[in-house]
Chain A
Amino acid sequence: MALVLNEEQQMLKESAQGFLAEFAPVDELRKQRDAGSETGYGDKLWAQMVNMGWAAILIPEAYGGLDFGNVGMGQIVEQSGRTLTASPLFATAVLGVTAINLAGSEAQKAELLGAIAAGEITTALAVDEKIHHAPAQISMTAVKQNGGYVLSGGKRFVADGSTADKLIVAARTGGEAGDTNGISLFVVDRSAPGIAVERTTMTDTRNYANISFTNVEVTEAALLGAEGEGFKALSGTLDAGNVYLAAEMLGICQESFDRTLQYLKERKQFGVLIGSFQSLQHRTADWWSQVELCKSVVLKALQAMDDGDAMAPVLASVAKAKLCQVTELSTNEAIQMHGGIGMTDEYEIGFFIKRARPAQMMFGDNSYHTDRFALLGGY
């Protein structure tokens, strides 16, 4: 497939750009933060997104979705990186939908996907238990009992974990920490007895949670996919998550770059525009080149998911690793080139670095994905 957008994808990109710039600019993030928002996002905004069909983009038509594909959804998420827009789009419409698509039974798909498309429920994916991403290291347990399961353990860094209606939880029904066998996925109501949710406020002021499960009883119907075989679907969901995080970071890189380039053309020192200094020109030109590389790999990784390409997992790690590298560069250069004003809360450029780092860290940073790339490559 050619590495370009088709006309429909291009139109979606433009409409997302217009919508987000109008209804969810960076200033909206500031408002949510200053108001101490519980959810970290505007409920009205999410309702608008659902109305436009964004929650349904990855959902098959048979379950009330649009089945528009990952390249299309990627354009929206990329644009949301430019505006730093917080919403359930990632945790629900990407992670929730992908996990259910990959592992769900007909009944689960009909029930859950339909409800997501209609904006009736939101979801969160609970995977990590320690401070670094390590999906095979899961030690939370799910013990079979009375025809159902009892869940015990703790999860951290769960995006939308303090607001989602349904938690998709990875727990161990067999094996031990380090095994990929024996992991099972469950769909659990966040309000179920025995679940304690503690919101953690991070640099990006989105809602994340540490969640503890104390003898949480669920029925067999809560099991998503076959018992003990959840790792494959989990891995596919994480790959998707990483590609979308990369897409969002691509938006962050481009917006940080564009704003900084504009600043270089406005700011004067020593009587001249600072953009006339060669030291800044060379750094900016190198930065631009790196962002061009990012555009290519994100598009390819999105296409690979749509095509069911066997290289999709490798490309997911390539995209995440590269975007982590360049996002770190972009957000740091943005502040440095803005100088003192880049350090102020009043100026928006500093918001980008504060969203970027949690996005880099979630589901594995540069070092994790560089190492995974080597592992998948057999070294």
Chain B
Amino acid sequence: MSNLQAFRQETRDWLEQNCPASMRLPTDGDDSCWGGRNFTFASEDQKLWMERMAAKGWTAPDWPTEYGGGGLDKGQHKILKEELAAINARSPLDSFGIWMIGPALLKFGSEALKQQHLPPIVRGEIRWCQGYSEPGAGSDLAGLQSKGEDRGDHFIANGQKVWTSYGDKADWMFCLLRTDTEAKKQMGISLVLFDMETPGVTPKPIKLISGSSPFCETFLDDVRVEKDQVVGEVNHGWTIAKYLLTHEREMIGGMGAAVVGGESLSQHASQVMGLEQGRMNNPMLRAEVATWEIDAVCFGLTAERVTDEVKSGQGVGATSAMLKYYGTELNKRRFETLLKINGSDGMVWDGEAANGGWLPRTWLRTKGNSIEGGTSEVQLNVIAKNILGLG
């Protein structure tokens, strides 16, 4: 038996014994495990599942073991994902630490920062949020104005951040500050880390058209930021910021090909609307569903091809903007079609029968997909300039 086969068997056995049965049921979308100091677990099983996976480093399977990660190579990581999928296991831990600041620290952070921050991320002890956008710096992120004033061994930060995902629930923030006001726009920006409990940090939830408040605006009033909490070099944070944006794009773009609760759009439509002689009886809507599914197949295959090309060394690597652009537009189309399929039921905002208004709320939330992490128009600019060379 090859090493990988042995690994698969061990993994399968371990998951069989350690993944609680309730963690193999579909989620309703609201019961993700985010971890952190203030997190309330939805169940004992959820806590157990996170802790067991964290103990093996499998909440961050491909991070080095010295920082608490799983230390898995690509082949092993793929097997773990396959085995988790095979038993419908829920994600043990959703985390901006794992998805965003962790990879940036691994690539750009000092040894001390890695030692300090990575292990608590893996264990789900510290929940992170991102302090990027500002009221005056959305698409034009490099125009950010929040300042970090040099006070020797620390900075004093003042300004306002906006669209901080779960800012009111997070423990630490990775944040872009202007630390040199003289330098040209992209220069003079630093990426810094601070505890959300530091005096002067005030997150306030923003209520969205979907009724929920996944974002905050975060006010910074004379916040003390230690200089040893700067990632990379002072005034050279923009490169890291861009690296992180790429990660974010990939994350958001990847959502496009997902299906509702494991059910395809056409299955959902057939169930809700019924079939007449084997066909959906509204031919225009049928065509809309089929066209969407065709595009979704093509998009899914493209995400697969891009990954395969990178693995075989043929990749261009600059395709995250395309995946983000197309994936989010696809997701918006999916929800518009879902709304049509569900007719008047599709807009019911409250009540048990309507699953608490899940559909209209989620539909409205998707409108943000093509805005957050760089608007569709920004992605098209990136493609035109970086890939196509149009000036």
Contact = CB atoms under 8 A, between A and B. Distances in A.
B160 interface: no
Contact of A299 (B275, B305, B380): B305
A282 B280 contact: no
Contacts of B308: 2-4
B389 A289 contact: no
Contact of B390 (A284, A295, A371, A378): A284
Interface in A281-307: 281-282, 284-286, 288-289, 292-297, 299-300
A374 B390 contact: no
A26 interface: no
Contact of B297 (A2, A285, A318): A318
Interface string B302-314: 1011001101101
Contacts of B309: 3-4
Interface residues of B, number: 43
A68 interface: no
Nearest to A281: B384
Contacts of A367: 287
Interface stretch (B31-39, B189-197, B318-326): B318-326
B110 interface: no
Contacts of A322: 294-295, 298
Contact of A265 (B290, B311, B377, B389): B389
Contacts of A285: 325, 379-381, 383-384, 387-388
B388 A261 contact: yes
B287 A288 contact: no
A270 interface: no
B380 A281 contact: yes
A273 interface: yes
A377 interface: yes
A370 interface: yes
A379 B286 contact: yes
Contacts of A295: 302, 305
Contacts of B389: 265
B60 to A, nearest CB: 26
Given A2-B312, A318-B298, A379-B289, A289 B280 contact: no
A379 B384 contact: no
B391 A276 contact: yes
Contacts of B286: 371, 374, 379
A77 interface: no
Contact of B266 (A261, A292, A297, A379): A379
Contacts of A280: 390
B301 interface: yes
Contact of A293 (B269, B295, B383): B295
Contacts of B297: 297, 315, 318
B381 A281 contact: yes
Contacts of A297: 297-298, 301
B280 A370 contact: no
Nearest to B303: A296
Nearest to B381: A281
A375 B275 CA distance: 12
Given A294-B298, A296-B304, A370-B287, 20 more contacts: A3-B304, A3-B305, A261-B390, A275-B390, A281-B381, A281-B385, A281-B390, A284-B388, A285-B384, A296-B302, A297-B298, A318-B294, A370-B290, A370-B291, A373-B290, A373-B294, A374-B286, A374-B290, A375-B278, A377-B293
30 contacts: A2-B312, A3-B301, A265-B389, A276-B390, A276-B391, A282-B381, A284-B390, A285-B387, A286-B325, A288-B383, A288-B387, A288-B388, A289-B325, A289-B326, A292-B302, A293-B299, A293-B301, A295-B305, A297-B297, A318-B294, A322-B294, A373-B290, A375-B278, A378-B266, A378-B270, A378-B275, A379-B270, A379-B275, A379-B286, A379-B289
* A-B pairs, 4 with minimum CB distance: A281-B384, A285-B383, A296-B301, A3-B305
Interface of B: 266, 269-270, 275, 278-280, 286-287, 289-291, 293-295, 297-299, 301-302, 304-305, 308-309, 311-312, 314, 319, 322, 325-326, 377, 379-381, 383-385, 387-391
